[in-house]
Amino acid sequence: MIEDKKGEEMRKTIKHTVYTLEEKEKILELYMSGQKSAEQLVLEYDLCNHKRIGEWRDMKLKYGRIVDRRGLKLEGQKPRGRPKSVKIEEMSKEALIEELRMIEDIKKSIAYLRRKEKRIKSLNV
């Protein structure tokens, strides 16, 4: 955290307001009816940028409503987050052999990096 002039802690990044689906629908309605421009809505509702409104509009046109996709992977992307744990009992023989080879490769890489680190430390002393 960074401290401001008053000595209070501040975030390093800007955190924007999180809106419910109903609030998003209301903001989108203001935009689609022409009452306010995307730039005006970004400033008024503290949205990250005008592209967010375009995403909501595309969802509305595709699905008929705004869809909550928080935490879900997007189409065509690899899953985010930590991979699922492997259940050895349920693996085929070939998959188990591949998993063991991968683990051995990781161990070899770690051992190599440790040896390299020791050599670098001894040269710097």
Residue 106 sits in which domain range? Answer: 86-125
Question: Residue 32 falls within a domain, yes or no?
Answer: yes
Indicate whether 1 pLDDT > 50. Answer: no
CB 66, CB 21: distance < 8 Å = yes
Q: Looking at the domain assignment, is residue 12 inside a domain?
A: yes
Domain boundary among 27, 45, 71: 71
Position of tokens 């996709």? 69
Query: Do residue 91 and residue 57 come from a single domain?
Result: no
- 16: closest CA among 55, 43, 51, 54? 43
- The reply to whether 6 and 30 lie within a common domain is yes
* Length of the chain as a residue count: 125
Please state, in angstroms and rounded to a whole number, the distance separating the CA atoms of residues 77 and 69. 13
pLDDT of residue 7: 56
Q: Are 21 and 68 in contact (CB under 8 A)?
A: yes
Q: Does residue 19 form part of some domain?
A: yes
pTM of model > 0.85 = no
Domain annotation covers residue 79: no
Q: Residue 66 contacts by C-beta under 8 Å, 6 or more apart in sequence?
A: 21, 24, 25, 28, 56, 59, 60
Instruction: Confirm whether 35 is domain-assigned.
Output: yes
In this structure, the answer to whether residues 107 and 47 fall within a common structural domain is: no
Find tokens 């065509």 and name the residue: 76
**Is the pLDDT at 33 greater than 90, yes or no?**
yes
For the stretch 47-97, pLDDT in tens is 888 898 999 999 899 888 888 777 665 566 666 666 667 777 888 899 899
> Which pLDDT does position 19 carry in this prediction?
87
Residues 23 and 47 in one domain: yes
- In-domain check, residue 2: yes
- Residue 65 in any domain: the answer is yes
Domain boundary among 48, 71, 94: 71
Q: How many CB atoms lie within 10 A of CB 47?
A: 19
Is the residue at 110 inside a domain? Answer: yes
**Can you give the pLDDT at residue 122?**
76
Taken in order 5, 8, 11, 17, the sign of the CA dihedral is negative
Instruction: Give the total number of structural domains in the chain.
Output: 2
Residue 118 CA to its chain's centroid (Å): 36
Amino acid sitting at position 31: Y
**pLDDT at site 34:** 92
